[in-house]
Amino acid sequence: MSVEAKLEVNGQTWTLPALEGSEGEKAVNISDLRLSTGYITLDEGYGNTGSCISKITFIDGEKGILRYRGIPIEELAEKSTFVETAYLIIYGSLPTDSQLAAFSDLLTQYSMLHEDMKFHFEGFPASAHPMAILSAMINAASCFDDKIMHWQWKNLKDFEAAAAKLISQVRTIAAYAYRKSRGLPFIYPKRTYKYTRNFLHMMFSAPDEDFEVKPEVAKALDLIFLLHADHEQNCSTSTVRMVASSQANLFASCSAGVCALWGPLHGGANQAVLEMLEQIHQTGDDGSRFIAAAKDKNSGKKLMGFGHRVYKNYDPRAKIIKKACDEVLAHLNISDPLLDIAKHLEAAALKDPYFVERKLYPNVDFYSGIIMRAIGIPVEMFPVIFAIGRMPGWIANYKEIMEDPKSRISRPRQVYIGKTLNHYVSLEQRQ
């Protein structure tokens, strides 16, 4: 059934095509609006704008639903692994045994960085934020592979290799960025270790002794990667799509995604949550003073890890992470006062009219930092962990653009409110 929408401006009516997605998401297609009417639509912050048609991830923010390729996040969290989920997200369906083995082999094959990349790491000061290093080094890595640097979408095989290389190397780069910041020698990846275990090895092993990884720890970090693997058209994914739409290469597009993710309102929120909890702890506040400040628009404070553009209900990932957080801390026999503060903050906020009326619930970042802290991951690496996890989602979105014969360069319009025609005045006359 074809659906239409009508737009009336100044007594004139235009008919616009409407469409409906497979989960009932309705949209009015305004692509040709300016051509036929002279009007553009204005939606600052894109809260009501669909920027693409996608088959990857479905979110129902009102109901708190998240599904990758149709599969609920809860099922994947319980039964899958990050690597298997990465395959699902990129290629559209769960892999068979042999597909998974081939994908894992590619990840192993590409885990080493080009040896010359070590010199690039050396150029960064020890104080450099690992997100800056990650973004720069993802771009740099493309320079060591001609096919990736002079990217042209030719065949799926080239893409598979590039995708596996990125997923594998982002982990090596991330671990190196951490070791660089601590002045520690780099630890090479080991072919026999699985994805997440290998990352922990590169982070924490000594040159002469492998770091002992408790299975619960590897599992918890793998879960964090999996829960971050995609989240439809958020700030960083939209950035990746924006850059990809110019036909930039996969590594360049995803390195831009890292920059977008870095900010405290997005992937940097997990770091900001921990810093907030530490500040609350150090000042002897039980959270009440911070909540009061977060409600005061003049304080410049927000309850970090709370609220979401799309979720107006409990973020389903936050529920899973909260449970995992309790389990990991119990396994490791850690009692963290920050976890108590977080739980207290959550309970207080969930019955505070300010947060209730605005439908502000904990998001994925609220508890993930406490798990990472328990594992021994330093706070500045939190957004890096997010970026490793998000790589399959960015890659899948990149692939979707490259495979779409109708894909166009992204180019929004604006409503100009600056000066009207104005003329150049010479320096002498400008007093």
363 binds ligand ACO (CB under 6 A): yes
From the list 256, 252, 287, the residue with the least C-alpha distance to 387 is 256
With beta carbons less than 8 A apart as the criterion, state whether 161 and 168 touch. Answer: no
Residue with nearest beta carbon to ligand ACO: 307
**Is residue 306 a contact point for ligand ACO (CB under 6 A)?**
yes
- CA-angle at 222, arms to 220 and 226, nearest 5°: 115
Instruction: State which amino acid sits at residue 120.
Output: H
Q: Give the residue, chosen from 63, 214, 309, 323, that forms a contact with ligand ACO under the rule CB under 6 A.
A: 309
Q: How far is the CB of 265 from ligand ACO (least distance, A)?
A: 4
Q: At residue 103, what are phi and psi to the nearest 5 degrees?
A: -65, -45
- Minimum CB separation from ligand ACO for residue 166, in Å? 20
360 binds ligand ACO (CB under 6 A): yes
Per-residue x/- track, 236-255, ligand ACO (CB under 6 A)? --------------------
Nearest residue (CB) to ligand ACO, 26 versus 358: 358
Helix runs in 283-429, H state only: 288-295, 316-331, 337-350, 353-357, 365-375, 382-403
User: 310 and 59 in contact (C-beta within 8 Å)?
Assistant: yes
Least Å from the CB of residue 10 to ligand ACO:
31
Q: Does 304 bind ligand ACO (CB under 6 A)?
A: yes
Is residue 314 exposed (0-12), middle (13-18) or buried (19+ Cβ within 10 Å)? middle
Q: Is 165 in the site for ligand ACO (CB under 6 A)?
A: no
> Does residue 303 touch ligand ACO according to CB under 6 A?
yes
308 binds ligand ACO (CB under 6 A): yes
* Catalytic annotation, residues: 308, 365
Closest by alpha carbon to 374, among 152, 228, 139, 217? Answer: 217
* Residues near ligand ACO (CB under 6 A), total: 18
**Alpha helices, H only, 212-334:** 215-227, 235-244, 250-262, 269-282, 288-295, 316-331
* Smallest separation (angstroms) from ligand ACO to the CB of 128: 23
Binding to ligand ACO (CB under 6 A): which residues in 255-274? 265-267, 269
Catalog residues that contact ligand ACO under the rule CB under 6 A.
265-267, 269, 294, 302-309, 358, 360, 363-365
